[in-house]
Structure 1
Amino acid sequence: MDVFTALQTAVSGLKAQSFSLENISGNIANSQTTGFKRVDTSFVDLVAEQSTPTRQVAGTVAANSRLTTTIQGSLNATEVGTNMALNGDGFFVVQTKTGDANGQTAFSTGDLYTRRGDFALDKDGYLVNGGGSYLKGNSLDPVTGQATGEGPIKVSNSVLPARPTSSITYSANLPKTPATTNASASVPGSELLGTLTSGANPAILSGTGASTVSAADAASFINGSISGPSLTAYTASGGPVGIQTRWAKVQNGDAAASPATNDVWNLFYANQSTVSSTASTWTNAGTAFQFNSSGQLAAPAATSVTIPALTVDGVNLGNIALNYGSGGLTGYTASGGTVTTNTLTQDGYTSGTLNSVSVTKDGKVAGTYSNGNTVNLASIKVVQFNNSDGLKSNSSGNYEQTIESGTPLVGLNGTSVIGGNVEQSNTDIASEFSKMIVTQQAYSANTKVISTSQDMMTALINIIR
């Protein structure tokens, strides 16, 4: 290795350290950029081809960028519902805006990928981040929850249509001995509904059937039953309908009988939203609920039953499914003799306007409406790569797919979406300052090599004087 080669090597060192300083400056400049991934520098020695084991030369040096896309930055709470951060691997899929034509927004055809999650709604309802990229995903029908198409997510301000009640989810414990008004400790079976004032008996002892309680029998029916669940259901137009129910025990089980019999309960609902002991009529829900001696539901075997043509105040709500699930209804002993309700919900609601938008952990964009309902409006598209560091950096915090990165794998795959947060830059200022000092010293050292080489060449030229 001669003096001229040493000079060239020093020049390559200056270039390499300058490249390192360029990366450091970019990292520091973007230390507050949402979702920014710092760029580190790796140095590679380049050995001349004529080098031999006995005459190894230092050669020159090259500097390459080393991405840190797999290193997550810290999460920062923003209190903005549409902001989101990925806790784990993965990237949001985004597109860029190419223009507007006839009131319609046009987007780029290719997908880009970003960790920048400071998304907010623009004037058209699209979710766009601070870099101008539009979040992609699947739009969901607010009524059915089914996907309607993939593309940039657009949140509509349209009114959420009313949904009629079609099912009730209910779980409860019915007391072994109900505390009815008629119940008397000295009279066996007095806790049962029995025959009403008019001589009618609306009980269904097995299977399914139909029976009603007239207004004339309302008082004796109420005295022989206990309060059940009360809730508000909704018609197809969103009108509220108050449903009042009562449970009546119609048979005590006898394990010693041949064959053994079970406790039997019937559920009744009022045909009026306002219950009166003298003017209300009641309809049997149509199913005999049988409980064995252990207090477990023996029949029906299904986890739900249908209440046919449920009608209140003259409004027919149609067939309503009563879902109680496995083990949802029990008949254990209860000291108070009353029904203990554990779960009571229904799936209907009135119409509503959009109040706010938030993001769920599983990547759903949810809208909260004035009727109190929260409905999923879109599903965010998140992808992962086998080699995230193989992605090509683009402007505005975006990345492009390359051969080295591999194809995108759709799905969270263990990653969670944190709403109301953004991912900060993974740049550590203290570390960058340390690298800057080392780079400065290395650059100065290379200049010393150049000045020394110049002195040596000057001395060589002066030999002939």
Structure 2
Amino acid sequence: MGIFDALNTSVGGLQAQSFALQNISGNIANASTTGYKGIGTSFEDLIPDATTPSRQVAGGVTAFAQATITTQGTVSATTVATNMAINGDGFFSVQKASAVVDNVPVFTGVTDYTRRGDFQVNANGNLINGAGYYLMGVTVDPKTGNPTGNVPQVLQFQNNFIPAQSTTAIQYAANLPTTPKTPASSGAQAGTITAGGGINPADFASNPLPLGTPAPPVNAFFTGTIINNDNTTPAAITAATQLVGTASATSNDLATAITPPASLTVNGKTITFSTAQTTSTTDSSGNVTIGIGPTSTLTVQSVLSAIDGITGATTASTVNSGKLVLSTGTNQDLVISGTGNALAALGLSAGTTVRATGTNPGTGIVTGNDLTAFTNESISGGAVTAFNAAGTPINVQLRWAKTDSASLGTGHQDSWNLFYQTSTSATGAQTAWVNTGTNFVFNANGSLASPAGSAVSVPAVSVDGQVLGNLTFNIGAGTLTQFASTAGAATINNLTQNGFAAGQLQSVAINNSGIVV
């Protein structure tokens, strides 16, 4: 190597070091540049051309830039909801606008890639980063969050004024308890609709069942024949007359003792008179055994109480002038028969006593006067915010009332009515709640038997003077059920509506899954 070559090699070394210093300077200058990746420098030696290997001399040096674009950078927090950073491998798909025509960017269709994530929404609704690149993305299913396409498009969010949309449909799904636990159910007479968690129209000044529903039957009475006691001076029996005893001047026992085998059958349940016990017992099926053993002190009242327990009568059966007066109750007509001498000893006869015709037909409303009875005999059905044509939010409160129960016996089935609150301040005869007018009937397996369709129409809905108009409750197949619930309350699985208020796009943000929301 001559002096010239030595000088040339030295200059090459200085140039290589200068190139490295330029990279270092650039890295320092861009220390605060979002998405910037530092550029390293690598040096390579230059081997001079030598025809004689034994006379090989040291060559010069050159420098090359070493990109670090795939190296993870520092992630910094910001207060901008659309700023993003990629932690790990990957790039943002972006496009650069080739021109702007009438304030609208025009794109070439060429996709670029960047890790610069300082995106913000511009006036056109695009997400653009500090380098002027427009973010691209694919649409996702709003329910599942899964992509519905695989071809990215430049994202744009419309911020035009959106007019209000009134609510026309409500999606509803729930499980209703087989036995609701209402405030009134725990203290109600056993065997009644109220004890079963239901609603008793007799407790209301205005029958809340659907408009046009016939008035429910009311209690009627069956009166037997006069029976005397076994006193030496016979007298008409009373409720205190004992079933077992010995005739004397002070006795008050049945003149004709009931002799087993003897029984009464009331509405399909059996009352058996047995000398094997001295107390009254009831089995799990509702059948009663009345003890008439030698030391029994049970009375005619014991028989009356057993009958009322079966019929669920809230008007107690009595003894009047030696005659048994039996209440039918309101659940079903009184059907009575017997074996042995049970009927004759008590002055009864086999037959059917039909309940009396009621005088309070369904009005389809709950008035202010009946609010206490209604809330005590119904359960919450949830609430949803709906919107009228002006976009005014309206709180729609719902309640369920069980109107019949299969537990009441033959001829009964599990039925419910749905109510919505139309006035939060109703008093007196003013309407507070409105029956939607549909009987929801359930099969024994908990499935909905009727209505058969999935849409239930409710006309002219209004709440506190705000008119919603006609609403449709959409109940999908299998989404409204009746199963046992330890809480005795409705379980609301879905309660949504399709209306919204007027407005404009307020903000755009990115969630942790990378979805624009």
1:172–1:329 Cα contact (<8 Å) kept: yes
1:225–1:246 Cα contact (<8 Å) kept: yes
Structure-2 residue corresponding to 1:245: 398
Structure-2 residue corresponding to 1:184: 187
Structure-2 residue corresponding to 1:312: 461
2:200–2:403 Cα contact (<8 Å) kept: no
Structure 1 or 2: larger helix share? 1
The secondary structure found in structure 1 opposite 2:436 is strand
Rounded Cα–Cα distance in structure 2 between residues aligned with 1:49 and 1:286: 101
Rounded Cα–Cα distance in structure 2 between residues aligned with 1:168 and 1:43: 69
Deviation per CA, 1:229-281, whole angstroms, max 9, x where unpaired?
Answer: 12222246534444232122355567xx99xx999463502373548584343
Higher relative contact order (CA 8 A, sep 6+): 1
The secondary structure found in structure 1 opposite 2:27 is helix
Rounded Cα–Cα distance in structure 2 between residues aligned with 1:66 and 1:358: 35
1:241–1:312 Cα contact (<8 Å) kept: no
In the TM superposition, what are the counterparts of 1:18-417 in structure 2 within 5 Å? 18-48=18-48, 50=50, 58-137=58-137, 152-165=154-167, 166-168=169-171, 174=177, 176-181=179-184, 183-184=186-187, 186-189=189-192, 190-192=194-196, 193=198, 196-197=201-202, 214-215=363-364, 219=370, 223-235=376-388, 238-250=391-403, 264=414, 266-270=416-420, 272-274=422-424, 276=426, 278=429, 279=431, 280-284=433-437, 287-289=440-442, 298-299=447-448, 305-309=454-458, 311-313=460-462, 315-322=468-475, 331-334=484-487, 337-339=488-490, 344-366=495-517
Report the AA paired with residue 43 of structure 2: F
1:308–1:318 Cα contact (<8 Å) kept: yes
Q: What is the deviation of 1:324?
A: 10
Cα RMSD for the two superposed structures: 4.7
Look at both structures and tell me which one has the larger radius of gyration over its CA atoms: 2
Rounded Cα–Cα distance in structure 1 between residues aligned with 2:104 and 2:385: 42
Rounded Cα–Cα distance in structure 2 between residues aligned with 1:246 and 1:117: 50
User: 1:315 and 1:34, CA in 2 relative to 1: closer, same or farther beyond 3 A?
Assistant: closer
User: 1:290 and 1:17, CA in 2 relative to 1: closer, same or farther beyond 3 A?
Assistant: farther
User: 1:121 and 1:281, CA in 2 relative to 1: closer, same or farther beyond 3 A?
Assistant: closer
Report how many residues are paired: 344
1:310–1:320 Cα contact (<8 Å) kept: no
Structure-2 residue corresponding to 1:14: 14
Report the AA paired with residue 227 of structure 1: S
Unaligned regions of 5+ residues in structure 2, if any? 214-360
TM-score, normalised relative to structure 1: 0.58
User: 1:226 and 1:151, CA in 2 relative to 1: closer, same or farther beyond 3 A?
Assistant: closer
Rounded Cα–Cα distance in structure 1 between residues aligned with 2:132 and 2:158: 20
User: 1:217 and 1:268, CA in 2 relative to 1: closer, same or farther beyond 3 A?
Assistant: same
Q: What is the deviation of 1:38?
A: 0.7
User: 1:177 and 1:157, CA in 2 relative to 1: closer, same or farther beyond 3 A?
Assistant: closer
2:378–2:399 Cα contact (<8 Å) kept: yes
Report the AA paired with residue 62 of structure 2: A
1:94–1:133 Cα contact (<8 Å) kept: yes
1:310–1:317 Cα contact (<8 Å) kept: yes
1:249–1:263 Cα contact (<8 Å) kept: no
2:209–2:435 Cα contact (<8 Å) kept: no
TM-score, normalised relative to structure 2: 0.53
The secondary structure found in structure 2 opposite 1:87 is coil
- Taking only the aligned residue pairs, the percentage that are identical comes to 36
Q: What is the deviation of 1:153?
A: 3.7
Q: List structure 1 segments (4+ residues) > 6 angstroms apart after TM superposition.
A: 51-56, 139-142, 198-201, 323-329
Q: What is the deviation of 1:40?
A: 1.1
Report the AA paired with residue 29 of structure 1: A
Rounded Cα–Cα distance in structure 2 between residues aligned with 1:300 and 1:12: 93
